[in-house]
Structure 1
Amino acid sequence: MRMAVKEPVAGYAVAVVREDGRWRCSALKPDALTSLDAAITELAKIRSTGAVFGLLAVEDEFFIIVRPSPRGPSLLLSDAAAALDYDIAADVLDLLRADPPDEDDESIWPEGDLDILADLGMPGPDLEVIAGEVDLYPDEQLQMIAQRCGFGDEFTALLDEM
């Protein structure tokens, strides 16, 4: 039996930690972009008394926010239609028990927990507006989220190193 080899995906996956009032950003392994399980597992290994979450920018198409918790991860997929073309987006919908959109549906809408970062300064309605900005690339959307939550400088510095 052959194992399916997942093709590498362009983009980046970043772990964000807030502990003792300070933000820290670090790169996740590249397979976090192709496997939701890999992203969740890697984030769950991070030990912190504060908030831990992942920001994944997949190609120039969509972003995913993953926030592990003992009762299961909170997830937000910026564009539910991405599930038609990307396994990791389909995995998000599966975990959320959400149906994928129809093939011919041209709409873009986020799926998941819009309040995923509400306790960190990003209320759900604001996150929904950012996710709906179809003229922005995912990295630009995630930069807006980082700025709003207060870790924009740390996020930009890490991306400059990658």
Structure 2
Amino acid sequence: MSVKEPVAGFAVAVVREDGKWRCSALDAGALTGLDAAITELAKLRSTGAVFGLLAVDDEFFVIVRPSPRGPSLLLSDAAAALDYDIAADVLDVLRVDLPDEEDDSIWPEGDLDILADVGLPGPELEVIAGEVDLYPDEQLQMIAQRCGFGGEFTALLDEI
């Protein structure tokens, strides 16, 4: 078994319970593989929404939303799967083939309605994911603002 190299970025768990948002840092290992991220999120028992926002190496983001029937996932740039294990893991779970190495276009893959129930419709999330001039942390900040936990998200990022 190979040891996964550490990956730059951050992983944040977001929980909405009783109408209140809470953000907490996930272990950095959540950035190296999808299983690690899902395991970390599954530990957060809540009756409300639970999902993870992962910004990976200033390149792309992943949204992970565990559920009993399997995780809902969104990868902001499918081509990242050529270079990053966690992105390849997402495509694998989604049963999507790796993109062609010559294809340099950027497109999201997965469930664009992953956050629709917390205030971010799929078409808006698609626009945010398509903002190629923004870094993943800036895209996730936009997502946090739109869903209503921007203050909590920013406060946590200032700490980590």
Scaled by the length of structure 2, the TM-score of the pair is 0.99
For residues 51-100 of structure 1, the C-alpha deviation after alignment (integer angstroms, 9 at most, x for no partner) is 00000000110000000000000000000000000010000000000111
Within 5 Å, which residues of 2 pair with 1:10-49? 10-49=8-47
Using the TM superposition, give the Cα deviation of residue 45 of structure 1 relative to its aligned residue in structure 2, in angstroms.
1.2
- 1:144 matches 2:142: yes
Show structure 1 runs of 5+ residues with no match: none
Using the TM superposition, give the Cα deviation of residue 148 of structure 1 relative to its aligned residue in structure 2, in angstroms.
0.2
Aligned-residue Cα RMSD (Å) equals: 0.4
C-alpha separation between the residues in 2 aligned to 1:38 and 1:5?
13
C-alpha separation between the residues in 2 aligned to 1:38 and 1:88?
9
What residue identity is the alignment partner of 1:15? A
Paired residues, number = 160
SS for the counterpart of 2:74 is: strand
Partner of residue 93, structure 2: 95
C-alpha separation between the residues in 2 aligned to 1:82 and 1:143?
20
C-alpha separation between the residues in 2 aligned to 1:7 and 1:100?
21
For residues 114-158 of structure 1, the C-alpha deviation after alignment (integer angstroms, 9 at most, x for no partner) is 000000000000000000000000000000000000000000000
Using the TM superposition, give the Cα deviation of residue 32 of structure 1 relative to its aligned residue in structure 2, in angstroms.
0.1
Partner of residue 60, structure 2: 62
What residue identity is the alignment partner of 1:81? A
Identity of aligned residues (%): 88
Structure 1 stretches of 4+ with a deviation exceeding 2 A read none
Partner of residue 51, structure 1: 49
SS for the counterpart of 2:73 is: strand
SS for the counterpart of 2:64 is: strand
